[in-house]
Amino acid sequence: VSNSPLTLTIETSCDETAVAISRGTEILSNVVYSQLELHAQYGGVVPGIAKLAHQQKIDEVINTALNRAEVSLEQIETLAVTVGPGLAIALEVGVNKAKELAKQLNIPLIAVNHMEGHLLSSFANQDFAQAQLPALGLLVSGGHTEFILIEKLGKYEKVGETLDDACGEAFDKCAHLLGLPYPGGPAIARLADVAMPNLTINYKQQHQSYLLIATSNLTKQTYTLTIPMAGNPSLDVSYSGLKTAMKQLIAGLAGVDQKLNIQETGANAALPIEFTAELAAVFQVAAFRMLELKLQKALQKYPSIKELWLGGGVIANSYFRSLVTQFAHQNQLILRLPAKELTTDNAAMIAIAAYRQWLDGNYLTPNQHDQLDRQPNLTL
Ligand code: KG4
Ligand code: ZN
């Protein structure tokens, strides 16, 4: 690590303006300016607002990152930037800034896939050489839910994914149904934590369906949910059915016609808080049980897997963190769980993926900088 280049990394793929200073996987500073408040009132990220905010904040975030790492811009030896996947006009701000700085400093430039950043986020201040392969990666964010087989660092095979909504997206939509603020994940998690102690959870195989049955000793309610894809041998998941099921549970409790479009009427907001909390908990348990069932299937399919690598905003969820910790322990897997601040979008994880590429000699020399462009639809 000591002879690896001092790197400045920029990430602007969505609604975080983020810059990290690193050497190898060692993170010297990691600064994130979150635009959350700017988008919250719209219930989602507005690309035009994201672009403007990135443009306004990028220089300040760069300077803060340099200051915190106690290095000057002139000392930087490599530039790295997220090129995709993400919002095109948001990515563009980071890409242009990285090109400008790399040109000014006349140093190499590394194009990074945001998803590889999430995948390698647990390697912050760790040594890649410690990884025992093959490993299974599980990426769970607002835009992605993917199972990745890693035979070799840098060689990734997607072996399962969501067929519709991403897990984080499902949290956001469910939160909306429950009248909770955006982003939904943290809001659901907070309420679920309150309700969980009152719930007894059971699972039941019935005909072709795999059911979650939760009984509350507080409200005396019983909630039944079908966990989608449970019986399907693939490693794919699906979250749109869960959303529909939640709508029906909410409608049932609200005593309104099930055909009513809850999302439009907002009738859900009238639910007493203890019911909202229990629904949040039931949803959270179901959403993660689906992932756990697929992790089990993945181990059956690929018995040589030695490690489990987690990444993505949803990995901030405490309930899921303890669930996967237990799962890894039971299955004798080495668990790589990123620190919470590295689960949501940040530049430190991008810096780690950049270093992986640098080790592979995968960077643009100054005369190749023009080749760098944003790739909004990039995949792993
Ligand atoms: O990785 P990320 O910051 O952005 C994307 O690249 O998508 O993930 C954001 C997603 C949002 O859907 C958010 O609701 C979810 O992660 N999230 C959570 C939690 N914290 C954030 N989901 C469940 N539990 C949480 N504690
Ligand atoms: Zn992300």
The pLDDT of 218-238, averaged and rounded, is: 95
Arithmetic mean of pLDDT over the chain: 94
Burial class (CB in 10 A: 0-12, 13-18, 19+), 295: buried
Tell me how far the alpha carbon of residue 60 lies from the centroid of ligand 1, in angstroms.
Answer: 25
The residue to mutate among 121, 141, 165, 290, having the most atoms of ligand 1 within 8 angstroms of its beta carbon, is: 141
Tell me how far the alpha carbon of residue 77 lies from the centroid of ligand 1, in angstroms.
Answer: 32
Is residue 280 predicted with pLDDT exceeding 70? yes
270 or 273, higher pLDDT:
273
Binned at pLDDT 50, 70 and 90, residue 253 comes out as confident
Binned at pLDDT 50, 70 and 90, residue 205 comes out as very high
The residue to mutate among 139, 171, 174, 180, having the most atoms of ligand 1 within 8 angstroms of its beta carbon, is: 171
Pocket flag, ligand 1, residue 143 (CB < 6 Å): yes
The pLDDT of 217-233, averaged and rounded, is: 94
Of 89, 155, 80, 86, the closest CA to residue 119 belongs to 155
Binned at pLDDT 50, 70 and 90, residue 3 comes out as confident
Is residue 268 predicted with pLDDT exceeding 70? no
Give percent of the chain with pLDDT exceeding 90: 88
pLDDT tens by residue, 24-60? 999 999 999 999 889 888 888 899 999 999 999 999 9
Contact assessment for residue 262 and residue 268, using Cβ atoms and an 8 Å cutoff: yes
Q: Which ligand is nearest to the CA of 166?
A: 1
Is residue 342 predicted with pLDDT exceeding 70? yes
* Kind of pairing between the strands at 307-311 and 145-152: unpaired
What does 64-92 look like in DSSP terms, one character per residue? HHHHHHT--GGG--EEEEEEESS-HHHHH
41-50, 257-266, 343-352 — which one is most confidently predicted on average? 343-352
Q: Which ligand is nearest to the CA of 32?
A: 1
Pocket flag, ligand 1, residue 185 (CB < 6 Å): yes
pLDDT tens by residue, 281-325? 999 999 999 999 999 999 999 999 999 999 999 999 999 999 999
Q: What's the pLDDT score for residue 235?
A: 98
Whole-angstrom Cα distance, residue 130 to residue 262? Answer: 50
**Which atom of ligand 1 lies nearest, measured to the CA of 318?**
26
pLDDT tens by residue, 351-370? 999 999 999 999 999 999 99
Whole-angstrom Cα distance, residue 197 to residue 360? Answer: 49
Binned at pLDDT 50, 70 and 90, residue 270 comes out as low
**Whole-model pTM?**
0.94
